[in-house]
Structure 1
């Protein structure tokens, strides 16, 4: 959310937007582990980015940064505010040139033999990503507010990868080798529109009616070229090669309407809350795969790897809830949401029967909160949540980038439901704050990527509803302010996933835990200089294994010049080691160890300039201000 408005952005687009916004324009970032009623049914927490409203008049900032890894960003942010109008524009572009390498080692087990399959590769991914955000806010009066937002994003990408495949017999000798080059070029554009109307009560501004309407269109085109050569076990070219092309054109849209009404009542200021949403999305994907016929030099269509389909999903929700102030220190928040989901696939090529699925869900939630004091509180939470598969999990298109590890989606996936139980505690006292959370989730019909061993040593990776799962969670996060110049924060979390004995025996699923630890500091010795740093380690469990990453570190220094209008910064990312990921996958008849390394070591320089003059804060202490005021009064 940005200012409590939903945003339809992926992770990269959100990062580009945040880098385009001046740091001073963000008032705070709220992590809502217990989301408000209108978002309580979504799995996980909700992040709300709250921006500052600014002062009357013109403000603007130009920001640019570039790094040794091949990343760069340029952005301009301007705003103009009057008593009733607030207009903000952010335009920028980002670019990346990201090299890396990877390998995997696989062992295949059969009834009467074993063999191996190794891959070694490298890649270079390049892209340019322009973005534009326009926002107009109009305050007709204290009761009526309007907001219009446009968010546009583009992406031109050019990726190249080279891979060597080696088949190994049971004597650990290579007997078949091939090399493959994959080149991908394409572009993406998206346009998002949002309108928000807020009406506050005339007598009581805590009474709020809000309408949010949104619409978005997106288009992606890409062309992929594959060239593969086959060699003997002694690295001698056999004279056999293969050339293929894949052209993809997909268009999608979504539109929605969200209504929300909150009204306080009674002497204890209880709150009645209700709302409804309707969201529709459509997706058209056309994938054409051709192979080069050597004898004629013509490109021939490969129907087995081509498809053309339409996908539509509609979601309707209606909810009702209440916040009851039982006493000065006890509060009960409860509600229930009814949801209807309908999705449909229509297959043009290959010809197949359409897929239709629809279901109703009733999702209750309840929170009991105890305020021991203004600094210390705790809450017990139960909520039922839903996770629907998206087009990324449902898309049946075959990804042929790696012919020995085929990937495709599953249009028959069911939604994943969960019962979530949490206990949260928060303490803020003086220079420190600390928060803790314990949770248990009963997750039904979990969908996850599953790898299986097919013929000729190939594996297939697709999404499946694998089983139910028990999740046990614990996390602690907090911070300490040593003085006005130095602050530090830290967090640690652990989640343990447990599967049923039947799935573990049949599919070799593995119970496992995911762990992360993070720490950061901020040191400001004076008003012009800031030093900061961050370090994080994470390791994630998977039903077929786990993913382990190394420590990611960031250090930065920032200095202000020209009455704080010019800011220069230097950021050092992963100075000690590049980012590395190890993935271990266990199947019923194979084992894979995969490694991926990306050159994340980066020295980034940033510069920003404030276009308008800043109002300087006084450096006088309260005593000095009081003494100066007394002197003025005496002279007058």
Structure 2
């Protein structure tokens, strides 16, 4: 079993022969010659380490043919909440892209990830308890999306075509060109996404502030069309054998449309209809410049990154006036703009003889957001809501690592200064709120090597979560006469204390637990004002929010049981030919203080599995399944029916692996839907949401040009003290 799970990263086979030659003095000399050395790089779709788990995306047929958001939702331990947003093993997640935190939040971040093709992502790193080198504004965990960085000699190209079938049939073509000439390597990607999908939602709401409870039932159907053109350019210029200069430019243009049809019935109201169309145009531009250098022979390195991001969107919604009724209710438009500047440096000083290393660095970041909304609500007059947000962040950190025999120690301290200015509407009054706070954020961890393949680790970190612009912005959308949607300008920052204990073994097995205490925690909620038949969707601050999570990841080697030990040994050197199931189990218990639920806060269980089955004619079958059973409480939601999904993918290579063809079925049994009970002030809500997640896809990839994979090294290797980290091969 041990040899199975190790599945060595490098397989080196050498044949050595000894020849004996007798000299005149009858002495014997032994001459050893190496006749042959074969090096084979072992691919791994999942690699478990003490401080992170790395999952391959681009080469994974189940994840690489879709978009980044769909891929992230299928990562081990990741759960998408009913209101959107992601968690990792029960803790909040901050999304990083190529080592830098994403500026976008809420629906903007989800839409951006949905526009990023999975084929552009090399891997995703799940970092469970990030240390001082990561931003303190990371709540509890980080998912770092590493985009493709392969540079091949000469000029190479790859053409990809995904064709989606549901009720609609839409293509998504993409072409990737890359190459290398002397010291310059480059990569470009151009593609277009065209996707249609439907969303059905139902809310059965009981308003409890009246003498006799009143109720309304709401049904809504939204048909969404997403059209997105993207272009990505990356270059790496090798200044010397020790230095690299990397430049990246990414852009996308979106033109989306939502056609909605809603109906409301209930106590003391006539049937209310609300239909219309929302059109949204947006664009996003990212520009980064990175300088990486190895300063001397002892391994000191310097890494400097400058980054800017410009994002705009302009939604325009018009509802249809029905014959014999008042003018349409929800007509609005808004002009949203975001500007971000980011500069950071990291300096590494290793002391190999002392088995000690020191990392230090700093960051300066400015984010400016403006959103001006114009609303015409059953009235000839126009209301204007202007929201402005400015955040300035200055940070410095130092982190030391020390190895004492089998014990690896890490201690870090990060200083963060936040200056946040926000202006908007609170209770129909223009309000300006400023937060200026400076804090120290420590982290400590210890890792003990029980054996060469088994580690035990424990860690603590303190983090902060500034309320993002998406939860502060008082501008709303998707509202009508009985629904209000708004941000909360008065939210304070949340502080997190994260504790974690974990056992990892043989690059595949992980068993751990974490405990998080959050103060002034912000949660999405439904509520209603006393005596009003209007449901408000907003964010509310809670005094304390505690999360206890237990998780386990481990493989089941099907070949060992089904094919026998000898056949298994033959296949263990090539994971592409192995049959296996990789399991992930999560237990999550939430406790909210300062809030009364109408139901017991039961824990959430989540079970997920990914299997690879080799079929006749070299067809590879990949299957994934997850289920979140009923009766668990997720934040404020009680899940009343299981949430589950089964996906299957069949893939085959042709023409000496130049042509790859895949047939995929997502949510094959059409079971992925959310049924939940929400308990809130003056309101009880039965929540239902169903997206048309059952989709069939044909994917085609053709590679031409020089296919000899010689990856351009942009990593400056240093003699860092072992701390549970590592690179995925």
The TM-score normalised by the length of structure 2 is 0.76
Q: State whether residues 129 and 500 of structure 2, in contact with CA within 8 Å, keep that contact through their aligned partners in structure 1.
A: no
| Partner-residue secondary structure (3-state), 1:162 | strand
> Following TM superposition, by how much is the alpha carbon of 1:83 offset from its aligned partner in structure 2, in angstroms?
4.2
Distance 1:512 1:142, change over 3 A: farther
Residue matched to 1:438? 513
- Range 507-516 or range 114-123, more displaced: 507-516
| Partner-residue secondary structure (3-state), 2:349 | strand
- Structure 2 residue 300 is matched with structure 1 residue 225: no
- Structure 2 residue 139 is matched with structure 1 residue 43: yes
Q: State whether residues 152 and 706 of structure 2, in contact with CA within 8 Å, keep that contact through their aligned partners in structure 1.
A: no
> Following TM superposition, by how much is the alpha carbon of 1:144 offset from its aligned partner in structure 2, in angstroms?
1.4
> Following TM superposition, by how much is the alpha carbon of 1:332 offset from its aligned partner in structure 2, in angstroms?
0.6
Residue matched to 1:342? 419
Map 1:78-117; keep pairs closer than 5 Å.
78-110=177-209, 112-117=211-216
* CA distance in 1: counterparts of 2:680 and 2:124, whole angstroms: 41
- Structure 2 residue 626 is matched with structure 1 residue 536: yes
| Partner-residue secondary structure (3-state), 1:426 | strand
> Following TM superposition, by how much is the alpha carbon of 1:142 offset from its aligned partner in structure 2, in angstroms?
2.3
> Following TM superposition, by how much is the alpha carbon of 1:210 offset from its aligned partner in structure 2, in angstroms?
0.8
Q: State whether residues 220 and 249 of structure 1, in contact with CA within 8 Å, keep that contact through their aligned partners in structure 2.
A: yes
> Following TM superposition, by how much is the alpha carbon of 1:239 offset from its aligned partner in structure 2, in angstroms?
4.6
- Range 160-169 or range 215-224, more displaced: 160-169
Cα deviation, 1:102-130, whole Å, max 9, x if unaligned, reads 21212222453122111122121111011
* CA distance in 2: counterparts of 1:266 and 1:375, whole angstroms: 23
* CA distance in 1: counterparts of 2:620 and 2:152, whole angstroms: 25
Cα deviation, 1:24-51, whole Å, max 9, x if unaligned, reads x83x433222335311632233334454
The gaps in structure 2 that reach 5 residues or longer are: 1-95, 560-567, 572-576, 710-729
> Following TM superposition, by how much is the alpha carbon of 1:508 offset from its aligned partner in structure 2, in angstroms?
5.7
Distance 1:8 1:400, change over 3 A: closer
The gaps in structure 1 that reach 5 residues or longer are: 170-174, 230-236, 294-299, 617-636
Q: Aligned-pair RMSD on alpha carbons?
A: 2.6
Residue matched to 1:477? 553
Question: Which residue, 220, 242, 252 being the options, matches 2:328?
Answer: 242
* CA distance in 2: counterparts of 1:62 and 1:239, whole angstroms: 53
Q: State whether residues 508 and 588 of structure 1, in contact with CA within 8 Å, keep that contact through their aligned partners in structure 2.
A: no
| Partner-residue secondary structure (3-state), 1:579 | coil
Residue matched to 2:525? 450
| Partner-residue secondary structure (3-state), 2:532 | helix
Residue matched to 1:140? 239
Equivalences, count: 585
User: Could you say which structure has the higher strand fraction?
Assistant: 1
Map 1:262-411; keep pairs closer than 5 Å.
262-265=348-351, 267-291=353-377, 300-303=380-383, 306-325=384-403, 327-347=404-424, 352-399=430-477, 401-411=479-489
| Partner-residue secondary structure (3-state), 1:352 | strand
Cα deviation, 1:485-532, whole Å, max 9, x if unaligned, reads 2132110112111123x533xx76963433321101123458953211
Question: Which residue, 651, 655, 676 being the options, matches 1:583?
Answer: 676
Cα deviation, 1:312-353, whole Å, max 9, x if unaligned, reads 11111111120011x231011001111111111245997624
* CA distance in 2: counterparts of 1:405 and 1:7, whole angstroms: 31
Question: Which residue, 660, 678, 687 being the options, matches 1:594?
Answer: 687
Cα deviation, 1:47-99, whole Å, max 9, x if unaligned, reads 34454534322221000011112353211111112342210101111111112
Cα deviation, 1:562-585, whole Å, max 9, x if unaligned, reads 222111110011121242111211
Residue matched to 1:185? 279
Distance 1:519 1:176, change over 3 A: same
Distance 1:437 1:228, change over 3 A: farther
Q: State whether residues 132 and 441 of structure 2, in contact with CA within 8 Å, keep that contact through their aligned partners in structure 1.
A: no
Q: Identify which of structures 1 and 2 has the higher relative contact order when contacts are C-alpha pairs closer than 8 Å and 6+ apart.
A: 2
* CA distance in 2: counterparts of 1:410 and 1:542, whole angstroms: 21
> Following TM superposition, by how much is the alpha carbon of 1:162 offset from its aligned partner in structure 2, in angstroms?
0.7
* CA distance in 1: counterparts of 2:411 and 2:242, whole angstroms: 27
Q: State whether residues 178 and 228 of structure 1, in contact with CA within 8 Å, keep that contact through their aligned partners in structure 2.
A: no
| Partner-residue secondary structure (3-state), 1:393 | helix
* CA distance in 2: counterparts of 1:348 and 1:6, whole angstroms: 29
Residue matched to 1:627? none
Q: State whether residues 40 and 383 of structure 1, in contact with CA within 8 Å, keep that contact through their aligned partners in structure 2.
A: no
4+ aligned runs moved over 6 Å, structure 1:
348-351
Q: State whether residues 578 and 598 of structure 1, in contact with CA within 8 Å, keep that contact through their aligned partners in structure 2.
A: no
* CA distance in 1: counterparts of 2:680 and 2:628, whole angstroms: 23
| Partner-residue secondary structure (3-state), 1:503 | coil
> Following TM superposition, by how much is the alpha carbon of 1:549 offset from its aligned partner in structure 2, in angstroms?
5.2
The TM-score normalised by the length of structure 1 is 0.86
* CA distance in 2: counterparts of 1:239 and 1:408, whole angstroms: 26
- Structure 2 residue 624 is matched with structure 1 residue 546: no
Distance 1:579 1:381, change over 3 A: same
